[in-house]
Amino acid sequence: MDTQFVPTPAAGIDPDVLRDEIFVGGVWRRGDGELIESVDPATGRVFATLTAATVADVDEAVRAGQAAVAASGWAELMPHERARVLYRIGEQIEAHAGQISALQTLDTGKTLGETEALARSAAGTFRYVAAALETLEDSLTPRRGPSLTMTSWDPMGVVGAITPWNSPIASDAQKIAPALAAGNAVIAKPPVWAPWVTLYLARLAEQAGLPAGLLSVLPGPGRTVGEAIVTHPDVAKLTFTGGTTTGRHLARLAAEKLMPVTLELGGKSPTIVFDDADLTQTVAGLLFGIFSSSGQSCIAGSRIFVQRGIYDDLVGALVQATANLRVGPGTAPGTQVAPMINHAHRDGVAAMVERAVAEGAQVLVGGAIPDDPALADGAYYLPTILTGVDNTATICQQEIFGPVAVVLPFDDEADLIGQANDTVFGLASGIWTADYRRAWRVARQIQAGTVYINTYKQFSISTPFTGRRESGMGIEKGREGIRSYMLEKSIYLDITGEPLPWAAEQARAATAGTPARPETAATEK
Ligand code: NAD
């Protein structure tokens, strides 16, 4: 891959969108950090450069965020007033979905169909959050004494949002929208490998009337910019999506300052096919679950357990259908499996397949870089299905984050559930069967934040998303997703006007003869 030449502007992208500027405290300007070269995964060519943010930018952005919350009165606005701005951001995203899609396909390689769906989902997230914000109420709790007791919610202040490269606009929206809705300022740190749509989102938010300073976007390396956000004394919460190793490291840093975190991490999701499953529906679902987004999905259904009775038929159909998937550039109509994010990541995936083969796995289909000369410069890897290993193999235990699935036969339901749960992760799971009682029984026993029955990889912004065990902690989406950026406060309000009994005698004696306060007099009238 040659990254030496001068960037060539990409067709279909407004050059303004690729300006070498970061967004610090409401100001667009060049960063002072390292140079990021953005490479089109389909061609290996540099299409833009961006000067990253620095640790000093983090401090400036945090101060600006605090000042913006105070000066704009953002946190004190009525919910419908904040909702109006958030809704407008959603509308801006929707109106520019085509540009976002083109930009994200250029930056990540994903198909235009995938990136357009992500853009529309991000628009929906802002609109949902705007609507949900108006339904969040403070609540009275059951009275246990001579006070009214109630729960009210405060914003946290400045929230740090660190995101990965696989679905930038959707991950951004899932964090930025609820954090703003809750009355906070947000410092977003997009990944070095895909910074552009987050910057573009900030432009759209600005145009929608978001007060300056409430959102900063600081692309840069995790070790410097990311850690500076997490360790900054005035950042009150971290919301992070990324790998488990990074998440664990950041959770340790957050623990030092006792800062709450939401962590959406990796997965190795089991997909279970029972012998009464509809073959066509199942094969289509398995393919979508593992090979869409070229497998670069946290919930990718990468461990496929198939009941012995239909193993040969199912695997035969799956292999044939996999071989017929259309591999190509994300911009080409009809492409199903686009290039991976970059050559380094593709090579890492290839190395994991080689290691699996060394450990005894057989390649049923794929397992190689495509030999089509038209794809030679891109970061492609063929959709791959492996077999011949048991669930303890490295390829069944480690997240690959690429278009690679392993198929494993099973006989017994109890044993299957043990195997399905036998990883460190707990993100998602799929169940394919015509027997809804069995589906319910198995779904209840799978240790995962999301279970799909006869479907896969569906998302609803109103449905909470969470990982268990090493797949993360905390909740995104739904009304709880907004609450996760608020601090709960309990208020006790006396309704008797009487002194508390413990020292009432002394208090009465000490205050005898002092005039009643006007409010009291007014109440007594
Ligand atoms: P990553 O952990 O390498 O990076 C994620 C983000 O963290 C990036 O912005 C990166 O710059 C930053 N970062 C890295 N090291 C850091 C540090 N020391 N301090 C602060 N920030 C740091 O992950 P990735 O390769 O970008 O993304 C792939 C991973 O994300 C996969 O494991 C995938 O499963 C996971 N993921 C999870 C979900 C989910 O919702 N559970 C969704 C998408 C992706």
DSSP of 411-457: --HHHHHHHHT-SS--SEEEEE-S-HHHHHHHHHHS-SSEEEES--S
Q: What is the pLDDT of residue 524?
A: 42
Q: What is the pLDDT of residue 523?
A: 44
Which residue from 259, 298, 345, 484 has its CB within 8 A of the most atoms of ligand 1, so it is best to mutate? 298
Q: Which CATH class is domain 270-460?
A: alpha beta
DSSP structure string for 251-262: HHHHHHTT--EE
Residues with CB under 6 A from ligand 1: 162-166, 189, 191-192, 222-223, 226-227, 230, 241-243, 246, 249-250, 264-267, 298, 399, 401, 427, 467, 472
What's the pLDDT tens digit per position in 279-330? Answer: 999 999 999 999 999 999 999 999 999 999 999 999 999 999 999 999 999 9
Centroid of ligand 1 to alpha carbon of 357 (angstroms): 27
Q: Residue 264, CB half-sphere, CA atoms under 13 Å: how many?
A: 26
Atom nearest to 229 CA in ligand 1 = 20
Domain ranges of the chain: 15-265+477-483, 270-460
pLDDT < 50 stretches in the chain: 1-6, 521-525
Q: What is the dihedral of CA 430, 436, 439, 440, to 10 degrees?
A: 120
Terminal Cα distance for the chain, rounded: 86
Residue nearest to atom 16 of ligand 1 (CA): 222
Q: What is the pLDDT of residue 8?
A: 55
Atom nearest to 247 CA in ligand 1 = 2
Q: What is the pLDDT of residue 514?
A: 83
The catalytic site residues sit at 175, 264, 298, 476
Q: What is the pLDDT of residue 6?
A: 47
Centroid of ligand 1 to alpha carbon of 58 (angstroms): 19
Angle between the N-to-C axes of helices 112-133 and 168-181, in degrees from 0 to 180, rounded to the nearest 10: 10
CA 173 to the chain's CA centroid: 9
The superfamily CATH assigns to domain 15-265+477-483 is: Aldehyde Dehydrogenase; Chain A, domain 1 (3.40.605.10)
Percentage of residues in the chain having pLDDT higher than 70? 96
Region of residue 367 (left: phi > 0; alpha: psi -120 to 50; beta: else)? left
Residue nearest to atom 9 of ligand 1 (CA): 191
What's the pLDDT tens digit per position in 227-255? Answer: 999 999 999 999 999 999 999 999 999 99
